[in-house]
Homo-oligomer: A and B are copies of this chain.
Amino acid sequence: AAAPDPSAAPLDPASIFADLSPAELRAVRTFLMERPELGLAPSRGGPLAKNSLFLVELLPPPKRVALRFLAHGGRRPRREARAIVFFGAQAEPNVTELAVGPLPRPSSYRVLGRRGGRAVPFWARPMTQLEYELLYEALVGAVAPLEPLLREATGFGFQNCSGRCLTFSDIAPRGLGPGERRTWLVIQRFVEGYFLHPVGLEVLLDHRDPDPRRWAVRQLWYNGRYFGSVRELAELHARGALPLARLPEPPARHLFSSYEPRGRFFTGTPSEVHGAKVCEPQGRRYRLRGNRLEYGGWSLAFRLRSSAGLQLFDVRFGGERVAYELSVQEAIAFYGGHSPAAMQTKYMDAGWAMGASSYELARGVDCPETATFLDAHHLLDADGPVRFAHALCVFELPTGVPLRRHFDNDFQGGFNFYAGLEGRALVLRTTSTVYNYDYIWDFLLYPNGVLEAKVHATGYIHATFYTPQGRRYGSRVHSHLLGNLHTHLVHYKVDLDVAGTGNSFETMDIRFENISNPWSAGARVVQPWLHREPRRREREAALLLGRAPPRYLLFTNPRRRNRWGHRRTYRLQLSSHAGPVLPRGWREERGVTWARYHLAVTRRHENEPSSSSIYTQNNPWDPPVTFESFIRDNETIEDQDLVAWVTVGFLHVPHSEDVPNTATPGNAVGFFLRPFNFFDEDPSVASRATVIVRPLDPPTCSRLEIQRWTSPSPGPCVHPEPFTYNGTYRQV
């Protein structure tokens, strides 16, 4: 939930997509808490088997209503919230989603439609702070008999442990099939970067029952071996029959999992001085009002969904709509390993409140010093709105490469002209820190009508205790640490509306033809030609992940043509190394059926808003949203309102250089939306940042005319000399 800044224009049409303000979040909560039939208790404290409000966020207006308002103005669409209620104190405990409205003063609610008419079972709900507290208590109690073992092996413990404590990370899914809620917990030493400090103990704790007194340890794994009970393991150790994995004392300085600098660059080049920075000598060139962002022809509305993160709406260039919605749907990481926690880990981060994990961005590190920072407010597993300061940032980035340039050679040691346009993009960014991992979510706007969506992965790897058998599944990255292989996949919804909602989809690549040479009798010409494949139905438009997709993925408005007679088109271009995470149909794969396709194009339906849900993580076997069902009806998709569902990702085999953290270079994936005969020419010709240099006395080129529409020198933040150019290349 991104907060409007003080200059917010509440009547800007973009505000219909704005996240709920703290006052609105509070109003929804108060309204629902006061409904006696709901019987809501506070989120914090109390038993698990209670009714409580888990999440409140904006429920965007139906597209039809929003489009009418955007086109014609008039009455604003009814403003509503989505509220997620855990009904834990019911006869049939469940999770129910409500629409609450109208805002700012809600007066009614209704149950939001469930696909297939089924309620979400209570056991499929996401984890809460309360359940974690109970889980921690249950774990500490259950493993108390292991305290001698743990102390001896690690020097750390759970009891009276100040400064030398153990902690745990939980993995998911929490079982092998529907109805289960038993979680492998990885025990770690609580030091800086504890994700890299597993002690070799993994504990399977069953916490399905709403009553924690009935929770129990079902299995353990220690240092490569399984144990049926805590007692079995404790007794083996007491008898001296257990091979211990003794961990060295963590050093006071230069702990390997810490960011503390150590060593020196061999080259001796300085790093204790500040390096290159971004500066804005003449101020901002973008406009940010409320949740409306404008830059170089682009205009869009944005919000930060508490569930799954950034969501753009009403994305236009030159006043014309390119996309109605562009949003992150899901991010998953499926692992392989030898320990039970590793082999079981299939993270689906929407279930871990990915969108609400938007912690503070550091000025000068996470975003340039020049960035504008925005706060967000989430009401998720809390008893009121929570402010996330500096959750988003916006900045203009000098890309370091010209947007376009040309040196027009005269082949006489000079030039006819030189021209160039500096390369810049506006970046809209947020992060999701989902425990160990930090995703950096970017949308980049280029002034030539190109939009780029990109995600970088950084933060700590999800790592497990090293045993020799683990090397089949990754790299040993420290004495007792295995970096487990995993595939990261991210799913985006791209509701392209290419100059209108009626669009068609076709793919294009080259084929070779062998024709007779028209200018040389008897000779042949073999050459490429454009092989276009209109994709008329959803099945034909679902491009499987195992195969290389055609290189041109084109979304066309069949009824609008540019000046040169081409149907106006936007191209989707992927930057991805995605591969399948599991064989098709295998258990948890059914929760991520979107991950079968690089791209699937569907006819848009208001009741298919998302490809995933926050419930998939804890019930991937039979999730409430199954993307495959969107395409199973194989609708025709010609001249329809289409949605492109895009999967990007990469295979991550951790290596020693992932310590202390995965670094961003080479770990970014995403896609471009590029105009393809959408305009009549490159729309960046509107930019006044262009520089043209022409000799006044060709071919001598001793006098040059520098034509530009900006001041000769940008001012004091950079090299103070004005722009100069020579361009000749002369014999010396």
Contact = CB atoms under 8 A, between A and B. Distances in A.
A11 interface: no
Interface in A116-170: 129, 132
Interface stretch (A454-462, A536-544, A615-623, A632-640): A454-462
A689 B271 contact: yes
A119 B492 CA distance: 57
Most buried by B among A440, A487, A510, A728: A510
A455 to B, nearest CB: 10
A719 B370 contact: yes
A280 B283 contact: no
A597 interface: no
A277 B714 contact: yes
A607 B261 CA distance: 45
A248 to B, nearest CB: 14
Contacts of A359: 407, 409, 415, 418, 727, 729
A650 B508 CA distance: 13
A435 B418 contact: no
B418 A360 contact: yes
A70 interface: no
A485 B527 CA distance: 10
Contacts of A221: 519
A283 to B, nearest CB: 7
Nearest to A486: B528
A431 interface: yes
Interface string A302-323: 0000000000000011110000
Interface in A431-468: 431, 433, 435, 438, 440, 442, 446-450, 452, 456, 458-460
A406 B286 CA distance: 29
A717 B564 contact: no
A676 interface: yes
A594 interface: no
A216 interface: no
Q: What size tier do the contact residues of chain A reach?
A: 35 or more
A386 B730 CA distance: 5
Contact of A452 (B403, B411, B665): B665
Contacts of A298: 267
A235 to B, nearest CB: 20
Contacts of A732: 22, 377, 384-387
Nearest to A715: B274
Interface in A476-520: 476-479, 485, 487, 508-510, 512, 517-520
B472 A529 contact: yes
Contacts of A679: 656-657
B659 A675 contact: no
A483 B407 CA distance: 20
Interface string A681-703: 11111111111110000000000
Contacts of A520: 176
Contacts of A404: 458-459, 660-664
B660 A477 contact: no
A583 interface: yes
Contacts of A625: none
Contacts of A279: 276-279, 717-718
A46 interface: no
A327 interface: no
Given A265-B447, A732-B22, A460 B406 contact: yes
By Cβ-Cβ distance, the 7 closest A-B pairs, closest first, are: A274-B714, A259-B419, A365-B420, A369-B719, A276-B396, A273-B282, A272-B688
28 contacts: A176-B523, A226-B518, A259-B420, A261-B688, A265-B683, A271-B686, A271-B689, A272-B710, A273-B711, A276-B395, A279-B718, A359-B727, A360-B729, A365-B405, A365-B723, A399-B664, A401-B440, A402-B664, A404-B459, A407-B433, A423-B664, A452-B665, A474-B530, A476-B564, A487-B528, A530-B653, A551-B577, A717-B718
